[in-house]
């Protein structure tokens, strides 16, 4: 009885639902606790999935069978008399008494099953969630976990600008100390980034950001400047603090320098400036092929989706569409700007859809549409512009006009499809390359299709032989066979002569086929035939000369053989014939060109009395010798290395010329230090100190020289001929060898 069975299924579903709810409660508590501690959605989701998996494997809600449900009901409901399992049996297999009991149990379950609840531990799950929420609230309220992390981390003291006196021997008083240092980075407004304030003097910001410095000293200062490369900027004193600002344009390094009231100079370490460029938007068109063609009867609509991304927001996006009408010198272009309907300014990611109706753009058969998407970002004062690839849409032209001229005029006699033979060769080579990936049936089908294409191309070429059709493009052997068949039919008509079984395979010189070798004397020759062009003869009604006709005939024969092997599913044997046909076609095409006489240099006439005399005394030769030297990119560094060698060996003082030289070397080294600051920053710092007349010990000069050596590029090997020692007896031996050579 199906209604009793459905009652058990419904009870099982209630039981499974409670068990799954219990699994979720067990996982929700730890997940909440992980989120409070880590504030990471990813780790929270991972914890939730892990605990759900473990709890589900332990509880196994899916393993509640109907037999287990029936036993549970029998234990908790006395009126069933342990007969609930009868509801699972088919009524046809039960006795009459069992059927009566089955109906009675069904009535009992309908009235009293609601009094039984499936076993579960939802209270335990709710308690676990409550405890985890309480612990998380305490941790968040008193920030206990953050305090533990802070206690385990080493204390980081704020970075303070360190100044070094340029001449330590003249400093008699304590140098001024910095009370406050502050760096404010104000990003361009279009980036929508908040201003950043820090005490770290290294700068990393977007191009065009405004940088503001503020420094306060505990003593009165005479002058504070900011030095960058060869530029110096004086900081202004406002409200007891020295302030300066600039607009970032290029990467580099800078330092501070100040002079106190006793004219003692102090210079700071170098700090890096890293300028990041505002990237151009990326534009990609999807959902459409690069080239789309439409028949005139089709619905001529182009639909596509454009994805645009930018790092700081998109200002505008539009479509530049160009319609091309006509051909040749009469072609005309019309450019239009098409807008999207859902461009939202300021978004970093845009998905724009567009449908272009070619009919609404007044396009006709033969017209072409070229379009691309252009996007602008929000950079100021000049926005970055990016564009997508160009896509094409063409309406097929079903009517084409041809212009006929005389054969003697200088025109291109070759049709457009003369280039199709090359495509057949490419397709055949691709078929051979993909043979291992194809089934035998597919391979033969492709080969047969190429054979059909070769046939169509051959028939198109045959039209230029004077209206030749497929039956007319036969070889000489085929013509002979037709003649023999004609002889047979003629014989049957005359007297039903006895048929010769070898007639098809022999060449009868005594028959009327004898004219193949000997001209018929009875035939009268037309004396003007040699000078006339008979347009009634299909062999003569062509635009080509006799030599071009013979080449075209050879090309047709090659196409016959190429088609044969393609039809026989052996394209590798067809390729040589296709290549020979292509070569003949190219020869025909070149023969049809018109060449203009080239005007060149006319040399003076040769004097016969001077010709072949061998006199070369008045012949002047010309020889040009030039040495090309590569420009040295680091001349100041090389000169500084030599000067440091002198300072180390002679132990002399640094002059003003040395300071200028080291300053130039520092500018050259700064270019490499921007790319690899970890390798060259210390050397650049030492160059800065020595150019500022900071006292540098002997060991620092040696380290500085070594660092400059490392900055120089590796010297490429330059092979030269080495000098060899020679003696008089060796020279005599060489002369004797030259004489008898």
How does strand 271-276 pair with strand 203-206? parallel
Cis peptide bond upstream of 381, omega within 30: yes
Q: pLDDT tier at 591 (50, 70, 90 boundaries)?
A: low
Is 92 part of a structural domain of the chain?
A: yes
| Beta-strand pair 391-395/221-228 | unpaired
In a domain, 170, yes or no: yes
For the segment 702-729, the average pLDDT, to the nearest whole number, is 74
Region of poorest pLDDT, from 235-244, 435-444, 678-687: 678-687
Same domain flag for 580 and 464: yes
What gap in Å lies between CA 349 and CA 345, rounded to an integer? 10
Residue 739 lies in a domain: no
Q: Evaluate if residue 471 carries a pLDDT over 90.
A: no
95-99, 192-196, 371-375, 511-515: least confidently modelled range: 511-515
Residue 547 has pLDDT above 70, yes or no: no
Whether 407 shows a pLDDT value over 70: the answer reads no
Q: Say yes or no to pLDDT of 326 above 60.
A: yes
pLDDT at 131: 87
CB atoms within 10 A of CB 178: 16
Structure confidence at residue 376 as a pLDDT band (50, 70, 90):
very high
Q: Are residues 175 and 265 in the same domain?
A: yes
Judge if 288 and 270 occupy the same domain.
no
Residues in the chain: 741
Q: Work out the end-to-end distance of the chain between its first and last CA atoms, rounded to an integer number of angstroms.
A: 122
Residues 137 and 168 in one domain: no
pLDDT bracket for residue 404 (50, 70, 90): very low
φ, ψ dihedrals at 531, nearest 5°: -110, 5
User: Are 211 and 62 in the same domain?
Assistant: no
Residue 334 lies in a domain: yes
Q: What is the mean pLDDT of the chain?
A: 76
Q: What are phi and psi of 689, to 5 degrees?
A: -65, -45
Q: Given this model, what pLDDT does residue 10 score?
A: 80
Residue 654 burial (CB count, 10 A) = 18
CA distance 302 to 393: 8
Q: For residue 391, what pLDDT is reported?
A: 93
300 inside domain: yes
Please give the share of the chain, as a percent, with pLDDT higher than 90.
15
pLDDT, residue 81, reads: 67
Domain count, the chain: 5
Q: Residue 386 has what pLDDT?
A: 93
Q: CA 716 to CA 228: how far, in whole Å?
A: 33
Check if the beta carbon of residue 196 is closer than 8 Å to that of residue 209: no
Confidence at residue 729, expressed as pLDDT on a 0 to 100 scale: 81
Q: Identify whether 339 is part of a domain.
A: yes
Question: Comparing C-alpha atoms, which of 384, 374, 284, 281 is closest to residue 321?
Answer: 374
Same domain, 172 and 129: no
Residue 490 lies in a domain: no
Q: E-assigned strands of 166-313?
A: 178-186, 196-198, 203-206, 210-217, 221-228, 231-234, 236-238, 241-247, 252-260, 265-268, 271-276, 282-286, 291-294, 301-309
Q: What is the DSSP string of 32-99?
A: HHHHHHH--HHHHHHHHHHHHHHHHHHH-GGG--HHHHHHHHHHH-GGGTT-GGGGGS-GGGS-HHHH
Tell me the C-alpha distance between 716 and 158, whole Å.
Answer: 47
SS3 662: helix
Compute CA distances 310 → 248, 280, 339, whole Å.
21, 7, 19
What mean pLDDT is predicted for residues 692-710? 77
Indicate whether 5 pLDDT > 80.
no
Q: What is the pLDDT of residue 486?
A: 42
> What pLDDT is stored for residue 472 in this prediction?
44
Shared-domain flag, residues 462 and 369 = no
Mean pLDDT along residues 1-14 = 72
Residues 14 and 128 in one domain: yes
Given a cut of 80, is residue 716 above it in pLDDT?
A: no
Q: Is residue 270 part of a domain?
A: yes
Beta bridge partners of 308: 283, 350
Supply the pTM of this predicted model.
0.46
Percent of the chain's residues with pLDDT above 70 = 77
Work out the average pLDDT over 259-281: 87
Q: Which band of pLDDT confidence, cut at 50, 70 and 90, is reported for residue 71?
A: confident
Q: Are 179 and 196 in contact (CB under 8 A)?
A: no
Q: Are 134 and 219 within one domain?
A: no
Give residue 348's domain range. Answer: 282-395
Alpha helices, DSSP H only, in 434-514?
A: 440-462, 476-495
The three-class DSSP label of residue 131 is: helix
CA distance 695 to 693: 6
Examine the pLDDT at 132 and tell me if it is beyond 80.
yes
Task: Kindly state whether residues 444 and 551 are assigned to the same domain.
Answer: yes
pLDDT-derived band of residue 406, with 50, 70 and 90 as boundaries?
very low
What is the enclosing helix (H) or strand (E) of 67? helix 66-76
For residue 267, is pLDDT > 50? yes
Nearest one of 162, 250, 245, 227 to 666, comparing CA atoms: 227
Cβ(23)–Cβ(55) below 8 Å: yes
Q: Are residue 133 and residue 263 in the same domain, yes or no?
A: no
Which residues fall within 8 angstroms of residue 279, CB to CB, at 6 or more apart?
310, 311, 384
- Check residue 723 and give its pLDDT: 62
Under the banding of pLDDT at 50, 70 and 90, the label for residue 487 is very low
Q: How confident is the model at residue 59 (pLDDT cuts 50, 70, 90)?
A: confident
The DSSP line for 375-422 is: EEE--SSS--EEE---EEEEE-----------TTS------GGGGHHH
User: 7-21, 216-230, 573-587: which has the highest mean pLDDT?
Assistant: 573-587
Same domain (yes/no): 696, 647: yes
In this prediction, residue 416 has a pLDDT band, given cuts at 50, 70 and 90, of: very low
Burial classification of residue 269, based on how many CB atoms lie within 10 Å of its CB (0-12 exposed, 13-18 middle, 19 or more buried): middle
pLDDT per position as a tens digit, 176-217: 888 889 999 999 988 888 999 998 888 999 999 999 999 988
Q: Which residue has the higher pLDDT, 138 or 537?
A: 138
Residue 322 maps to which CATH number?
2.60.40
Which two structure tokens, joined as six digits, stand for 468? 């030749």
């Amino acid at each position: 009885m199906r209604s009793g069975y459905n009652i058990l299924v419904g009870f099982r579903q209630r039981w499974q639902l409670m068990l799954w709810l219990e699994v979720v409660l067990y996982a929700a508590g730890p997940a909440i606790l992980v989120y409070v501690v880590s504030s990471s959605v990813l780790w929270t989701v991972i914890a939730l999935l892990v605990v759900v998996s473990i709890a589900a494997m332990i509880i196994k809600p899916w393993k509640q069978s109907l037999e287990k449900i029936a036993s549970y009901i029998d234990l908790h409901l006395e009126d069933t008399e342990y007969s609930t399992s009868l509801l699972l049996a088919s009524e046809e297999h039960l006795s009459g008494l069992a059927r009566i009991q089955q109906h009675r149990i069904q009535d009992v379950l309908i009235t009293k099953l609601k009094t039984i609840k499936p076993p579960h531990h939802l209270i335990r799950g709710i308690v676990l969630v409550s405890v985890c929420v309480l612990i998380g609230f305490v941790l968040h309220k008193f920030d206990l976990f953050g305090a533990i992390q802070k206690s385990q981390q080493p204390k980081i003291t704020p970075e303070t600008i360190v100044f070094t006196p340029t001449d330590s021997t003249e400093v008699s008083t304590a140098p001024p100390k910095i009370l406050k240092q502050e760096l404010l980075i104000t990003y361009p407004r279009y980036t929508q980034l908040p201003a950043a304030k820090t005490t770290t003097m290294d700068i990393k910001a977007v191009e065009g950001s405004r940088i503001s410095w503020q420094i306060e000293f505990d003593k009165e200062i005479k002058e504070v400047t900011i030095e960058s490369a060869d530029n110096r900027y004086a900081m202004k004193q406002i409200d007891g603090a020295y302030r300066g600002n600039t607009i970032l344009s290029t990467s580099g390094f800078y330092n501070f320098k100040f002079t106190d009231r006793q004219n003692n100079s102090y210079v700071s370490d170098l700090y890096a400036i890293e300028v990041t460029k505002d990237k151009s938007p990326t534009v990609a068109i999807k959902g459409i092929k690069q080239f789309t063609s439409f028949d005139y009867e089709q619905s001529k609509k182009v639909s596509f989706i454009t994805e645009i991304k930018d790092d700081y927001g998109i200002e505008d996006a539009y479509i530049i569409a160009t319609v091309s009408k006509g051909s040749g010198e009469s072609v005309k272009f019309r450019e239009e700007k098409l807008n999207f309907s859902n461009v939202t300014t300021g978004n970093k990611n845009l998905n724009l859809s567009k449908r272009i109706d070619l009919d609404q753009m007044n396009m006709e058969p033969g017209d072409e549409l070229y379009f691309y998407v252009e996007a602008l970002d929000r950079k100021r004062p000049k926005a970055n512009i990016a564009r997508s690839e160009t896509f094409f849409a063409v309406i097929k032209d079903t009517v084409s006009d041809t212009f006929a001229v005389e054969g003697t005029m200088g025109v291109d006699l070759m049709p457009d499809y003369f280039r199709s033979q090359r495509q057949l060769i490419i397709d055949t080579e691709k078929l051979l390359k993909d043979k291992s990936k194809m089934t035998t049936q597919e391979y033969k089908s492709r080969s047969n299709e190429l054979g059909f294409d070769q046939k169509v191309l051959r028939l198109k070429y045959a039209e230029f032989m004077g209206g030749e059709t497929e039956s007319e493009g036969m070889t000489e052997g085929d013509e002979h066979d037709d003649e023999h068949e004609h002889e047979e039919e003629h014989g049957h008509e005359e007297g039903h002569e006895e048929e010769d079984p070898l007639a098809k395979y022999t060449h009868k010189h005594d028959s009327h086929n004898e004219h193949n070798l000997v001209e018929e004397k009875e035939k009268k020759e037309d004396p003007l035939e040699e000078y006339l062009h008979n347009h009634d003869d299909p062999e003569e009604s062509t635009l080509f000369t006799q030599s071009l006709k013979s080449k075209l005939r050879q090309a047709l024969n090659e196409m016959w053989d190429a088609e044969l092997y393609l039809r026989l599913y052996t394209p590798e044997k067809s390729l040589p014939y296709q290549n020979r046909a292509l070569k003949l076609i190219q020869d025909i095409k070149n023969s049809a060109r018109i060449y203009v006489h080239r005007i060149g240099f006319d040399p003076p006439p040769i004097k016969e009395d001077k010709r072949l005399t061998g006199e070369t005394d008045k012949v002047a030769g010309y020889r040009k010798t030039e040495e090309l030297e590569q420009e040295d990119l680091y001349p100041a560094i090389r000169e500084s290395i030599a000067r440091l060698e002198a300072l180390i060996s002679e132990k002399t003082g640094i002059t003003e010329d040395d300071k200028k030289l080291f300053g130039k070397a520092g500018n050259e080294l700064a270019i490499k230090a921007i790319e690899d600051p970890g390798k060259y920053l210390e050397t650049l710092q030492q160059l800065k100190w020595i150019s500022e007349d900071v006292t540098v010990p002997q060991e620092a000069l040696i380290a500085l020289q070594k660092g400059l050596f490392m900055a120089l590029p590796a010297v490429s090997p330059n092979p030269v001929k080495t000098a060899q020692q020679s003696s008089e007896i060796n020279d005599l031996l060489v002369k004797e060898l030259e004489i008898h050579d």
